[in-house]
Chains A and B, each alone.
Chain A
């Protein structure tokens, strides 16, 4: 079952199978669909063995970085210390809305994955950090947790296993940066959401200073399927010639496209077929001009590049971009790329936590210059200045928000330079007036 569109024959719905099916939201409905079998099995299995199965399955993090999940878990040893599991449900990368649908339609699927992972990393307590704007997902997941406690699925004797598993839901309050793992931990501790310097890594000193594992919603929701069906079953999904990208992935598609929504395909799917067959291609009488395939922080592709791309971690890298979070943003031939890239940089300027100078100043100045060019007030030196600022922002800060702002500017300048130059050539003013730092709609 798909949502909001019907499932396409070429999709592989595992996580999205019950999207749109309201009954799957309840504990009874979830159990009737085979839910919590994996958790029951896992709670009676040694955590070491669970770590090995997930490692063997080849599952990689679905939040953006693609770190192997089993390896992340294997950093957690039975050392007698208090451990924590964090579920990152702060989905806020522009273009991405997959975790939202997982939480809205299959909240028990997430609770099951969270409880299972907590056991697998020797943790008794798990926190699900949901972004503040996601009021409906928050309500659904909270209701699922309450139902699970009432039924003894969670608590001091989870599913009769004798294991103690607590899951708590924590609501954020509006900050993109809290999707960065250490910022999320600071936010959960009741602090400003500033990312922390690493090392120490969360596995050594994370939430409340204790060893912590943090995984994305989609990753954790996948795990029960792997535990239930085995690592070998999971390995069938993916390109035969690329064993490094295994499994299915939810892609959120938005922008100028006929059928926006979430699509779940096996990794290795041809991006051209995805865009034109599954998503219905561009709107009538329009052409696709550019695509950002993995959330706003990854390099922009031209239509030609996108049509040749393969949808997995390595495939997108080969095309000069990244899989990221799987948020596909489509731009058609009506779009002014300077304007849209300027809007993206404004996003990063607004969301910078402001603790690193390169990011605080860089995101703001890039936005000013981009908006100046957009408004026909740019000069040819501005393009060199943009490159210089972007270079000064890349690889020099505590987290990658700064790099993420530089990325669309650099890739946009490389691939759509003619649009920048046309705007600058049209500037006939004698004196350059700096663009006001205000939303254009105001």
Chain B
């Protein structure tokens, strides 16, 4: 779930910044080869709706996040209402509902990594990226750092994900080197 539990009034990820990006015109993603690829995926399921998660992945891969315009486009192709699609998008933590830094860095801090010092990795990551706080993007648009719940690589504490890539056994000391390898 990407929203915080009701009794808490808070969430792990800072609120989305509402700004000009919400008003930018949407350039269609599902044309040409991308549309053919989506149709191939749709042929694997008895319903069009079942292709929703894959379609949202294609949208995010192309645009970096899931925008309102993208949601409209997906909802038309899959014959769903935009509100329904938005409801699904907001359920899953990996779909970005607002633009994020070029390198989206997720640091696992769930218990198995926590006992191995994951919170120090988070601090080091915030210090070296200049993001200021979790969920915020650095001024140059390069980094966004968030904490993430169990990445399923507990034996390689602390694992982090940078966009779609895993980096394992990260320590506070290895953070500067890892960041220096990103462009």
Residues of A within 8 A of B (CB): 4, 91-97, 100, 131-136, 166, 168, 170-177, 187-193, 208, 252-256, 260-262, 296, 327, 329, 331-332, 335, 340, 343-344, 347, 349-354, 360-361, 363-365, 367-368, 436-442
Contact = CB atoms under 8 A, between A and B. Distances in A.
Interface string B2-38: 0111111110100000000000000000000000000
Contact of B155 (A176, A193, A252): A252
Contacts of A360: 5-7
A171 B9 CA distance: 30
A116 to B, nearest CB: 20
B7 A190 contact: no
Contacts of B46: 208
Contacts of A93: 150
B53 interface: yes
B147 A439 contact: yes
Contacts of B51: 190
B153 interface: yes
21 contacts: A94-B111, A94-B154, A168-B44, A173-B95, A187-B53, A189-B47, A189-B49, A190-B49, A190-B51, A191-B49, A191-B88, A192-B87, A193-B92, A252-B154, A252-B155, A255-B111, A255-B112, A340-B115, A350-B5, A441-B118, A441-B122
A331 B85 CA distance: 42
Given A254-B116, A254-B155, A442-B134, 15 more contacts: A91-B152, A94-B112, A170-B54, A188-B50, A190-B53, A191-B88, A208-B47, A253-B155, A340-B114, A349-B8, A351-B149, A364-B6, A439-B122, A441-B134, A442-B133
Nearest to B88: A192
B81 to A, nearest CB: 13
B179 interface: no
Contacts of A351: 1, 149
Interface in B153-176: 153-157, 161, 164-166
B77 interface: no
A349 B5 contact: yes
A166 B57 CA distance: 22
B76 interface: no
Q: Which 5 A-B pairs have the closest CB atoms?
A: A190-B52, A364-B5, A174-B94, A173-B92, A254-B154
Nearest to B2: A174
B155 A261 contact: yes
A165 B50 CA distance: 19
B47 A335 contact: no
Nearest to B146: A439
A335 to B, nearest CB: 6
A375 B8 CA distance: 16
Nearest to A3: B155
Contacts of B109: 343, 439, 441
Nearest to B118: A441
Contacts of B3: 354
B111 A343 contact: yes
Given A173-B56, A350-B149, A353-B1, A364 B50 contact: no
A92 B110 CA distance: 11
Contact of B152 (A96, A190, A253, A340): A96
Given A95-B154, A190-B78, A340-B114, A437 B149 contact: no
Given A94-B150, A256-B116, A350 B12 contact: yes
